[in-house]
Structure 1
Amino acid sequence: MDLKSGLYGVVRLDGGPVEAADCAALGLTRATGSFVAAGVDRVDPRAVHRADAGGCCCILLGYLDEPQELAVRLGLPVDSGFALLAAAAHARFGAEAPAHMLGEWSCLVWRAEERRLALMTSRALRDPVLHARKGASVVLAPSIHALRRLPWMPNDIDPEGFAATMARHRAVRPFNTRSLLRGVEALPPGACVTFDAGGTQLRRIGAPVAAPPFAGSFADALAEAETLLRQILRQRLARHGGLAVMLSGGLDSSTLAVVAAAERAAGQRLTLLTSAAPEESGLPDETPFARIVADRLGLPLTLVRPSPQARLFRPSRRHCLARNDPTRATWHHLYEAFFVASGAAGHAELIDGSGGEYTFTAAFPLATPAYRLRRALRRLRDHVDPRRGAPHWPEDGFNVRLAPGLLSGLPSHLEETWRRPWSAEPAFDPRGRWGYCQGVEKLDNSPSETMIGAARIVPPFRDQRLLQLFSGFPARYSNHGGASRAPARALLDGRLPDSIRLRRSGLAFCPDFYPRLAAEAPEARTRLLAFRRAGIGEWLDLDWLDQRLARLDAEPRPPVAEAFRIQITANVAEFLLAWNEGADALE
């Protein structure tokens, strides 16, 4: 069995013996008692930490970022292991422990005498924690495909769970706990769920509170931010002996590459990877910009292209097996190529510049009187012009085109959440603090292992310490000196040429997306007959998919949102087809 990284366990809360079949389904060696659990990390075994003492077993998977500080608070030696610290933090703080344990991790705490099991996650999700309870038995795993092997687990997809996994973030914010299987729930980031004879209790830690107002100058703020970013990348370099960095030559990735290169110690490796257009295609890509950065840093640049066998409309089985829900990854074929390149260079982590817009490269405008006037005029224009109308429920509430029958029976809570206040155009108060920007929680919801056995995708910009530091800065620092993304531009001043530092926009991450979309559409249409025979039309609007795929011949460049919806609908159909064929079809 190809185990996904994460926590696995079978627990009997009544003291009875665990079922051998349950253990076998999850790939666990059966124990004679009522508790068996393990942590698995396919690429970084050192990330598995375990402590057994006094009837308490704690397994922590991942890393604590400030362990010495936590140890002092808990009155423990500063060299205490991560699992010991986690157990002590849970004993001291209970369900609030995740708020005190900085880092990215998942954790299990079993207290045998109390017959109590606690599962915890860091505020930024590292590995999924899926759990289910049947009477006195609790099972947990990071993979829906492992849990569906349980002999008592129904294999039929739950319609409400499917709808929730396909919904846009606006309809399931802040986190979707539903899964494809009825009775299986996902533990949210920054949460603790406790199981005992009295029942099940879930508690999420509160939203982060903005730091006190920063009193220093812009230069002071930049110095503190750079020092912290250096610390973050220094920690990751030290843990793994090197890093791969996705480099586009844009502000986000260039900032990370510059800082990582500055912090790289003797013997540590740094590999720069960039997405390149197919050879001799003539398509524009980011290679010239990435090469400028690589040359300035004195590092080689590796060009990454998808395999010729990769298909936009047909994710690999390996990709589907790593997912707990049907994939919504539009560039899965390109990311697989990045994983191959990272693995070839021997790296366990692939640094991604996602999320820079919440700190160093924030491009939110300042809500000045002039801005408010322009926004009011845009609203008036949108009201008059029906083509610019606001999104509608349920048409715009999902990443795919759902079947009409499924749309007619949607759970009401999705619409209720969708209709809660939502600002599509956030702006900074020029007299206020930076704070935590809308949508930042989406960064926390994504696990870092997206391909079994491949390097983790790590966005340093979602580090909670960095977000907390920026939250106290004056909002006007985002546009200091009249320049947007001011912190990143200032940090790169004198380190990279202005052709990089002053870039206003970038090119497509996947240079050949549209040519592939049109070229592969006829092949994708041939899959529709298999989809219909498998009953996938109960879940997805296959007539709509057929029409949109056919239209790509005459209209090869639809609006990007439409293109993504076509692709994702086909991808989800492939996932459902494999699901119907059974778990073995995915392996």
Structure 2
Amino acid sequence: MCGIAGILSAARTVNAGAVQAMTGLMAHRGPDGAGLWENPNGRLVLGHRRLAIIDPSPASAQPFVAGSIVLTFNGEIYNYREIRAELITRGHVFATEGDAEIIVAAWRQWGEACVEFFNGMFAFALWDEDRNLLFCARDRFGEKPFLYVEGDGFFAFASEYKALLTLDGVSAAVEDGRLARFFVAPADGLDRDERTLFPAIRQVPPAQVMIVDGRTLERRSACYWTGRPARKGRRPSLPEAAFAFRDLLADAVRLRLRSDVPVGSCLSGGLDSSAIVCLARRELGESTPYHTFSGRFPGTSADEGPYMDAVAAATHPVRHEVEPKPENLLAELAQFSWANELPVDSASQYAQYCVFRLARQNGVKVLLDGQGADEIMGGYEQYFSAYLRGGGTDSPLIHSRYGDALTQVQPWHTRLPPGLRRLLARTVHKGSDISFGLTGDVRIERRPPPANLHEALCRDSLDGFLGTLLRYGDRNSMAHSVEVRLPFTDHRILEFVQGLPVEYLMGDGETKRLLRTAMDGILPDMVRLRWRKHGFVPPQVAWLHQTLLPAVEQAVEESSLSPLWDRAWWRSAIRRFRAGDTSQAAGLWKLLACESWRVHFLAAMASRHKFQPLL
């Protein structure tokens, strides 16, 4: 896990000092070393910050040079040993034990198709001097970032926005409409297409490669994976599918335990992280110490302690716990906003930030986590609508366990034009839609509802909020120099799930039915058969009442309040919250997060020295 950066020019000399400044701003991503490589004509400089995980020897330091090929790489190729064995049979010889050299050899063997062999999370840039091209690639789900700009005579890339924004000529202007749409409909995300919140900065979308011509800087992109289901054979029974899935998930965990430094797990009281801890224990055996890291909210309904205790009793980990508190969030809001680079949609991301820091404080550099299972396997109760729409069998259990998922009736006023809805809400002082607090109309292009469950899961996994959640995970973990690995985003799992009948996923009123069935006898039933667990969410209402509301009030009254927000509406929302209208909590948090980001990221970047990318 690392930070990567580089600048390529077709005709002029690159300022190596600019690349060094870019990687310096990302030192948190790689505190174990720094590297810089410049090609002989001075028209390409690659930079790297290293977090040593696999083969921490100097031989695997980056940028990794192998003859005419140079690589700067962020992430891990989990199946590097299997690929290495295959490449050895094809005549390749290796000088290191790491995965960076595997990427170089795979490029030599298979060219652009090399990424199809990789099981991992990655973003890399590979310079091929003989072909005079820069080959850039990003993993299938977009776990690792790849941001870039096309400047006047140069192409620059980096792992984080702050690195690119330090370049002269790269504007930090924000597309306010896109920002507003994110707050109104966060499920649409900011992370799935080429555009970003900054018009000057673009990104390589997940599951894409991009070739940059070294002579002309012309770009060519291609998608290498779409999540299509694995080839179908005989339809398995549910027990057979669950058995096969358990082996597949266990293998995903096994691959992600590969490391030359300590590995642990996040542990909440939910099905996903608990399943990973149980499978990791089976893989490691009882004698190997295994550390888990949890966030607790004692004395509130958000506390997951009893469920964590049940998993711990079955797996005997070395437990570590932290209690995120609102006063600490307020004290750390500047650092938290700087680390995340974009506004944060929920206070739950601060809790995640605290758990990752706890791991680093205890000497664990790699964590397994359960992110992605809800979107890939049908973990949200709202998926029951798509399940039934596509022919899934109705069941009384759906209505008894998840009745709200099917009884939500669209109020008449939601069908009014946005401007009229806003006027009505302001007149009667009701409503919690954050769009009411915006100064202008925010037009959301509503996609038609998914035709079936598989479409809903594929959409959310590959073109929905999961991408934003992965960005949060990347920034929050990297802020503390911790690598997070996600077994459920093993691409084989999505392909497998997409090929199964929907009854195996949400039949009999069960979310994530396949996972629950597969974990029978492995995961304590107290967790396995738990219904209506809603993520790792702090008591946000209590946090506002206890500590955060004065900060929101201060932000609303600041003369520098973003023109995005209608000050009068938010004054009213604060009054209503104080009077007991807790539906305002989510909006109040979003305003605080946005204004903190403007002050602690945008303004902080504006005050920094800019570097000329070219000499």
TM-score class, shorter: 0.7 to 0.9
Quick check: 187-196 or 24-33, which moved more? 24-33
Kindly indicate whether the alpha-carbon contact (under 8 Å) linking 1:60 and 1:106 is maintained by their aligned counterparts in 2: yes
Contact 1:132–1:183 (Cα < 8 Å) also in 2? yes
Distance in 2 of aligned mates of 1:387 and 1:282: 34
Name the structure 2 match of 1:9.
6
Aligned partner letter, 2:244: E
Distance 1:483 1:518, change over 3 A: closer
- The alpha-carbon distance between structure 1 residues 523 and 403, as it changes in their structure 2 partners (threshold 3 A), is closer
Deviation at 1:106, TM superposition (A): 1.0
Question: 1:63-87 CA distances to partner (integer Å, 9 max, x unpaired)?
Answer: 2233355453793548685334434
Instruction: Find the aligned partners of 2:420 and 2:295 in 1 and give their Cα distance.
Output: 35
Aligned: 1:348 with 2:374: no
Using a 3 Å threshold, how does the CA distance of structure 1 residues 214 and 161 change in structure 2: closer, same or farther? same
**Kept in 1: contact 2:341–2:601 (CA 8 A):** no
Q: Residue 347 of structure 2: which of 315, 327, 330 is its match?
A: 330
> Aligned AA for 1:524?
A
Q: Alpha-carbon deviation of 1:19?
A: 2.0
Please state how far the C-alpha of 1:271 moved relative to its aligned partner.
1.9
Would you say the 8 A contact 2:360–2:481 is kept in 1? yes
Residue of structure 1 equivalent to 2:255 = 235
- With over 3 angstroms needed to count, the CA separation of the structure-2 counterparts of 1:109 and 1:70, relative to structure 1, is same
Helix, strand or coil at the partner of 2:48: strand
Amino acid of the structure 1 residue aligned with 2:364? H
Q: Percent identity?
A: 18
Matches within 5 A, 1:405-554: 407-408=440-441, 415=444, 418-423=445-450, 426-427=452-453, 437-441=458-462, 442=464, 443-444=466-467, 446-447=470-471, 448-451=473-476, 452-479=479-506, 484-506=511-533, 509-528=536-555, 531-532=558-559, 534=560, 536-554=561-579
> What is the deviation of 1:503?
1.6
* 1:565 corresponds to: 587
Judged with a 3 Å threshold, the aligned counterparts in structure 2 of structure 1 residues 173 and 302 are, in CA distance, closer, same or farther, namely closer
Cα distance, 1:404–1:288 mapped onto 2, change above 3 Å: closer
Rounded to whole Å, the distance in 1 between the matches of 2:256 and 2:242 is: 21
1:494–1:129 distance in 2 versus 1, CA, 3 Å: closer
2:65 to 52, 56, 77: 52
Which residue of the partner structure matches residue 287 of structure 1?
305
With over 3 angstroms needed to count, the CA separation of the structure-2 counterparts of 1:34 and 1:163, relative to structure 1, is: farther
With over 3 angstroms needed to count, the CA separation of the structure-2 counterparts of 1:218 and 1:575, relative to structure 1, is same
What secondary structure does 2:258 align onto? helix
User: Does structure 1 retain, via aligned residues, the 8 Å contact 2:144–2:474?
Assistant: yes
Q: Distance in 2 between matches of 1:92 and 1:269?
A: 39
SS at match of 2:71: strand
Compared CA separation, residues 161 and 554, structure 1 to 2 (3 A): closer
The corresponding residue for 2:28 is none
Q: Which runs of 5+ in 2 are unaligned?
A: 25-35, 423-431, 610-615
Provide the C-alpha distance between the structure 2 equivalents of 1:509 and 1:570, rounded to a whole number of angstroms. Answer: 20
Q: Give the letter aligned to residue 72 of structure 2.
A: I
Distance 1:161 1:383, change over 3 A: closer
**1:246 and 2:266 correspond:** yes
Q: Distance in 2 between matches of 1:117 and 1:223?
A: 43
Q: Is the alpha carbon distance of 1:43 and 1:354 closer, same or farther for their aligned partners in structure 2, counting shifts above 3 Å?
A: same
**Residue 37 of structure 1: aligned partner:** 46
Change (3 A) 1:500 1:128: closer
Cα distance change of structure 1 residues 541 and 67 upon mapping to structure 2, 3 Å threshold? same
Identify which of 199, 202, 205 aligns with 2:224: 205
* Structure 1 position 484, deviation (Å): 5.0
Output the amino acid matched with 2:10: L
Structure 1 distance, partners of 2:410, 2:487, is 43
The 8 Å contact of residues 63 and 105 in structure 1, kept in 2 or not, is answered as: yes
Structure 1 position 563, deviation (Å): 2.4
Is this contact kept in 2: 1:214–1:473, CA < 8 A?
A: no
Moved more, 481-490 or 387-396: 387-396
C-alpha distance in 2 between matches for 1:82 and 1:478: 35
Shift of 1:258: 1.0
User: Aligned partners of 1:262, 1:327: CA distance in 2, in Å?
Assistant: 36
Gaps of 5+ in 1: 429-433
Q: Give the C-alpha shift of residue 221 in structure 1.
A: 2.1
1:34–1:302 Cα change, 3 Å: same
CA contact (8 A) 2:519 2:528 kept: yes
- Greater alpha carbon shift after TM alignment, 224-233 vs 508-517: 508-517
Code of the aligned partner of 1:505: R
Q: Which of residues 12, 18, 22 in structure 2 aligns to 1:22?
A: 18
How far did 1:571 drift? Answer: 0.7
Q: Secondary structure at the match of 2:532?
A: coil
Note the C-alpha offset of 1:327.
2.3
**Mapped partners of 1:494, 1:318: distance in 2:** 43
User: How far 1:356 sits from its partner (Å)?
Assistant: 2.1
Q: 1:261-315 deviations in whole A, cap 9, x for unaligned?
A: 111258754223333224xx46562111211121122235433201463236x86
Greater displacement, 522-531 / 545-554: 522-531
TM-aligned CA distance change 1:19 to 1:394, over 3 Å: farther
In the TM superposition, residue 123 of structure 1 has moved relative to its aligned partner by 0.7
- Give the letter aligned to residue 55 of structure 1: S
Q: Hey, what does 2:600 align to over in structure 1?
A: 578
Report the Cα offset of residue 165 of structure 1.
5.6
In structure 2, the CA distance between the partners of 1:226 and 1:381, relative to structure 1 (3 Å rule), is closer
* Conserved 8 A contact 1:42-1:453: no
In the TM superposition, residue 357 of structure 1 has moved relative to its aligned partner by 3.0
Between 462-471 and 258-267, the greater mean CA deviation after superposition? 258-267
- Matches of 1:487 and 1:115 in 2, distance apart? 48
Q: Does 1:75 align with 2:75?
A: no
Letter in 2 for 1:333: Y
Contact preservation (8 Å) 2:210, 2:220: yes
CA positional deviation for 1:149:
1.6
- The structure with the greater share of residues assigned to helix is 2
CA distance in 1, matches of 2:108, 2:516: 45
Maintained 8 Å contact 1:326/1:572: yes
Q: Indicate if the aligned counterparts of 2:125 and 2:135 stay in contact, CA closer than 8 A.
A: yes
Q: What's the counterpart of residue 74 of structure 2? A: 61
Q: Residues 48 and 466 of structure 1: is their aligned pair in 2 closer, same or farther, counting only changes over 3 Å?
A: farther
SS at match of 1:493: coil
Structure 1 residue 518, shift from structure 2 partner = 2.1
In structure 1, C-alpha distance between the alignment counterparts of 2:419 and 2:206, rounded to whole Å = 27
Indicate the SS of the match to 1:569: helix
In 2, the alpha carbon distance for the partners of 1:426 and 1:392 equals 29
Matches within 5 A, 1:173-322: 175-196=192-213, 197-198=215-216, 199-215=218-234, 216-239=236-259, 241-265=261-285, 268-278=288-298, 281=299, 285-307=303-325, 309-311=327-329, 316-322=333-339
State how far apart, in whole Å, the 2-side matches of 1:394 and 1:230 are: 53
Q: CA separation of 1:151/1:460 partners in 2, compared to 1, >3 Å: closer, same or farther?
A: same
Shift of residue 155, structure 1, vs aligned partner: 3.8
What TM-score, normalized to structure 2?
A: 0.78
CA positional deviation for 1:573: 0.8
Cα gap change, 1:62 to 1:503, in 2 (>3 Å) = same
Cα distance in 1 for partners of 2:231, 2:513 equals 21
Against the structure 1 CA distance between its residues 48 and 530, is the aligned structure 2 distance closer, same or farther, given a 3 Å change threshold?
Answer: farther
